[in-house]
């Protein structure tokens, strides 16, 4: 079987500190199309996605997770296209649950759901074996060595397990929701795991020195005092998650 072509990519105009240059929406297939992460509910992006799949005989939407910059356009596009929405069953827009081993069929191959909680509890990746590819949502970004992990108690341990799980998949390229493709998956996974372990150790040492330190104090120790307010709120939740991980005996 010939190697499928690369997915088509549409980038939303929603740049920011967490979205980088904007959310990437991926299209797999031509006649039977999966739209992965339809993106934010922004009119020009919704129109662009609808135009890109015009003429296809079947279109489905697939969500890596429920954050608005990935799933916000799902309801609008589902209505416009008459499309089913696949993803974690806890996401309100989802009409077809996609769980462990669940599949989405396209005319370019099969997408297989790989649950990968950590960035969010509902997060999943999509393994496109025919292309040796993995759509990783926000588990990794296309640049740097970190993504946000602070959504819930236990998210740090979940995130580390999810990174380790991806090592077992035979992929040559990863497509993140933000940033360019990751062409050396093994190195990227090592980099992201090392960064998170470093943060865990920073918080562990801080708590050894000040066992009763609260989140504000840990934020100062780990990140300093000059964080912009929008980033600061997210960083505070991140250190809270790290502290919970350390205090609960996480390695």
46 neighbors 52 (Cβ within 8 angstroms): no
This prediction's pTM: 0.96
pLDDT score of 9 more than 80: yes
- Read off the pLDDT of each residue in 165-193 and give the average, rounded to a whole number: 97
* Average per-residue pLDDT for the chain: 95
Going by C-alpha positions, the residue among 166, 172, 137 that lies closest to residue 3 is 172
Residues 6+ apart with CB under 8 A from 60: 33, 34, 35, 83, 84, 85, 86, 96, 104
Which domains, from first to last, does the chain contain? 8-184 (3.60.15.10)
Distances (CA, A) of 16 to 23, 33, 59: 10, 29, 29
Query: What distance, in Å, lies between the first and last C-alpha atoms of the chain?
Result: 43
Query: How many residues belong to the chain?
Result: 251
Model pLDDT, residue 2: 60
| Tens digit of each residue's pLDDT (9 = 90 or more) over 116-127 | 999 999 999 999
- Read off the pLDDT of each residue in 168-193 and give the average, rounded to a whole number: 97
Q: How many other CB atoms sit within 10 Å of the CB of residue 9?
A: 14
pLDDT band of residue 214 (cuts 50, 70, 90) is: very high
| Tens digit of each residue's pLDDT (9 = 90 or more) over 125-147 | 999 999 999 999 999 999 999 99
pLDDT band of residue 228 (cuts 50, 70, 90) is: confident
Integer Cα distance of 39 and 70 in angstroms: 4
Distances (CA, A) of 79 to 50, 72, 84, 151, 219: 11, 13, 9, 29, 43
Integer Cα distance of 157 and 227 in angstroms: 25
Q: How many other CB atoms sit within 10 Å of the CB of residue 55?
A: 9
């Amino acid at each position: 079987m010939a190697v499928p072509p690369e997915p088509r990519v549409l980038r939303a105009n929603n740049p920011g500190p967490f979205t980088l240059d904007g959310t990437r929406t991926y299209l797999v297939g031509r006649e039977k199309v999966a739209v992965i992460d339809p993106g934010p509910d922004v009119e020009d992006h919704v129109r662009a996605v609808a135009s890109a799949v015009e003429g296809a005989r079947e279109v489905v939407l697939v969500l890596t997770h429920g954050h608005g910059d990935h799933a916000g356009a799902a309801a609008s596009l589902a209505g416009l296209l008459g499309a089913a929405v696949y993803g974690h069953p806890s996401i309100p827009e989802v009409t077809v649950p996609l769980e462990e081993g669940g599949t989405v069929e396209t005319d370019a191959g099969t997408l297989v759901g790989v649950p990968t909680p950590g960035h969010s509890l509902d997060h999943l990746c999509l393994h496109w074996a025919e292309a040796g590819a993995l759509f990783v949502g926000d588990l990794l970004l296309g640049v740097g060595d970190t993504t946000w992990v602070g959504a819930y108690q236990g998210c740090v341990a979940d995130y580390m397990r999810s990174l380790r799980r991806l090592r077992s998949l035979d992929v040559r390229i990863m497509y993140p929701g933000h940033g360019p493709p990751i062409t050396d998956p093994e190195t990227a996974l090592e980099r992201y795991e090392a960064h998170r372990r470093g943060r865990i150790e920073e918080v562990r040492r801080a708590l050894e020195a000040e066992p009763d330190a609260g989140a504000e104090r840990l934020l100062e120790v780990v990140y300093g005092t000059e964080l912009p307010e929008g980033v600061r709120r997210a960083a505070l939740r991140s250190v809270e998650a790290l502290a919970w991980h350390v205090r609960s005996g996480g390695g």
